Structures are given as structure tokens and as C-alpha cells.
Structure 1
């Protein structure tokens, strides 16, 4: 937490990672978001690249997005956990004209769910909507899948600058919401701990069940 403004509170720091096969447009999405540029030549990421961007939230707080763009080549897949460990959000990108890239997104979702559980905000991104006539995965199919895994679904075109800013704004909102939920859970846990410390008894009726059952067995000669 750093960089204060009068009345704005500390800057929220979020780590976000882009995952997906090679050539689906992950780097193009980042380039469009960061610099509003599009490179017509294929941009190949080696292992990972890292950029940061500061944004102002609707409530005037500041947030810093630390964005990791990972390589999509199969030989770099094993490095994924290094980059998404501790991430607050993930963009799982596929090419709407490439069914295999969509199937690979599913494997990334399973891996993230296993490693990060509900601690990470997920958005599945169907990129290259400028190639609509070559679409291989329907919007409805991708949306239904995203809903089954608790993720949001967004379609974009880095080339046409369609939906890119909205994508990163949504990701930021989801990470802020997760941050707020975690803070609330931590507060509730602290209150419960304090209540136990003050009363000397855990306020949980279920804790008495084993004792009651034991007493029942004793009086009944069981």
C-alpha cells in the first residue's frame, strides 16, 4: 500500500495475469489497453512480460494494476503457477475462431480453481470478434461455460479496440469486490476471536452436540 492522496486512502495493489494459448491476442489486449496501439504483426511473448497501470476507482480511491502477460507456447505452460500465484484476477483468453484455444481455457480454469479456489476473480475472454465470419465458438456456448465455473464472460477485439477498456474495468471492479469481501471476512473473524477471548466460550451451538450425545449415551447405558 502506497501513494496517498488527501482523503483518498491508500492505493490498492492488484496482481492480474493473462493466460491462454499463443496467438490468441493476450499481448495485443495489453498493448491496446496500455498504449491504445495495435501491431498487425504477431507479438510473441517469451515467458512473461509485466506492466503496471494506475487507475481511479468510482469512489475516488486509487488502484495499481500489476499485469502479467504470459507466454502461450506449450513449453512455457509449466511456468504458469509462478505468475498466477498470489493473483487477484485472471483473464483467460481464447480466439473465437479457434476451438482448441477455447478448450485450453478450460484446463486453465481447472488449474486456477485448484490452486486459488475462490480467491481469484476470473474473466473468460473471447478475442478477435473482428473475425466474426470465422467464429468457431458461439457467444452462448462460451457464456454458458463461464457461468458454470463462476466466471464472467467478455468478448473483445484488440484490433478494433472493441470492449478492451471495459474488460479491464470489469476486472478491476471484480478484484475490488473480492478485496472488500476478504476485508469483511477478516473483520468478522477478528470479532469472533475477540468474543471468544472475552467470554471464554466459543459462540457455536454445534460445539455442544458431541457433549450432549456423550451424555445421552452415558445415561442410557449405551
Structure 2
């Protein structure tokens, strides 16, 4: 089995549920009284998927703004301008369990995600709706690292396989 490190950084406004998403994914727990993140926090989770082991390296950043959908577009522009070429953007419409408090319509978010080739999934950290699925979709879109393709190639665990089956994708 090959090991892939998947670097994930959560960006979003204060109170949108970034820390709750990470806690639900990593610890399968939800704390309604979770404290706001100061600076950033870091968590990891290892998941077996197909013939790979995925190690998620997750940075949960502190939120600062309160204009969620507007700021999302600003962050995406910054990532596209300053981030790596093969960056994967995933948009979580969190708190989908709070239907009466919806601020952004599903269709609007879907259309925006499609326009920037991003993943869009409505989630609820509170009820665990689509949290695992969101991270699975991210892992599907993150390009595989071929041996010697860059400084951090994927590597094999266990017995060596014949050369023809050494690809990780």
C-alpha cells in the first residue's frame, strides 16, 4: 500500500464550523460549545482508501470575517493567484441541518463551485452529514505523487511490488 499525505487547510469566517468539521472528521465528535480557534490548530487522521493509506494533515485557521459567501470568493482569488497550480478547492456548505437559517441557496453555491472547478458539498458537523464524503472527494481530486516527481514522493508500505504496479493512482 502506498501512503499519501494530503494537506488540507480550512478557511472561512468565524462561526461557520471549521473546527467542528475537523473534530467530526478526526474524532467523530461534536462539541456545541467549542471555543473559537486562535491562530491555527493542526490535526491529522489516517484513512485507508482503496490500495492507499491517506494521511490528512489538516490546518484549521482562525476565522475573522462575517461575510461568508462574499469572503469565500476573495479567498479563492487569493489562492488562485498565490497558491500552487494544482490546488484543490472544496466548498463545504456547513450547518445544512439548520434549514431555516440558510444564508446561501444551494444552487448559488453549486454554480459558483462549478465556475471555479471546485468541490461543493453540503455538510453538518453536528449531525455528521457528508463530513467523511467531503474529505473523500478532496482525496480523489488531489493529484497522485509519482515517484521522483517532486521532493515528497509517495512511498510504499509492506512488500515491494513489481515495477509495473508501483503507480499510486
TM-score (norm 2): 0.82
Separation (CA, whole Å) in 2 of partners of 1:73 and 1:45: 10
| Greater relative contact order, per chain length (Cα 8 Å cut-off, separation 6+) | 2
**Number of paired residues?**
149
- Computing the radius of gyration from Cα coordinates, the structure with the larger value is 1
Structure 1 residue 43: Cα displacement: 2.7
SS of 1:179 mapped into structure 2: coil
Alignment pair present for 1:103 and 2:75: no
Q: Deviations over 1:8-38 (max 9, x none)?
A: 24x2112110000110000000011111111
Do the aligned partners of 1:154 and 1:167 also contact (CA within 8 Å) in 2? Answer: yes
Alignment pair present for 1:32 and 2:5: no
- Counting only pairs closer than 5 Å after superposition, residues 1-222 of structure 1 correspond to structure 2 as 8-9=1-2, 11-58=3-50, 60-74=51-65, 100-175=67-142, 178-179=143-144, 183=146
Do the aligned partners of 1:23 and 1:42 also contact (CA within 8 Å) in 2? Answer: no
Stretch moving more, 24-33 or 37-46: 37-46
**Which runs of no fewer than 5 residues in structure 2 stay unpaired?**
150-169
**Which runs of no fewer than 5 residues in structure 1 stay unpaired?**
1-7, 75-97, 187-222
Q: Larger helix proportion, structure 1 or 2?
A: 1
SS of 1:38 mapped into structure 2: coil
Q: How large is the RMSD of aligned CA atoms in angstroms? A: 1.9
TM-score (norm 1): 0.63
Structure 1 residue 172: Cα displacement: 1.5
Separation (CA, whole Å) in 2 of partners of 1:161 and 1:61: 24
Q: Deviations over 1:124-173 (max 9, x none)?
A: 11100111112121100000001111111110011111111111111112
Do the aligned partners of 1:50 and 1:66 also contact (CA within 8 Å) in 2? Answer: yes
Runs of 4+ in 1 over 3 A off after TM superposition: none
Separation (CA, whole Å) in 2 of partners of 1:144 and 1:54: 32
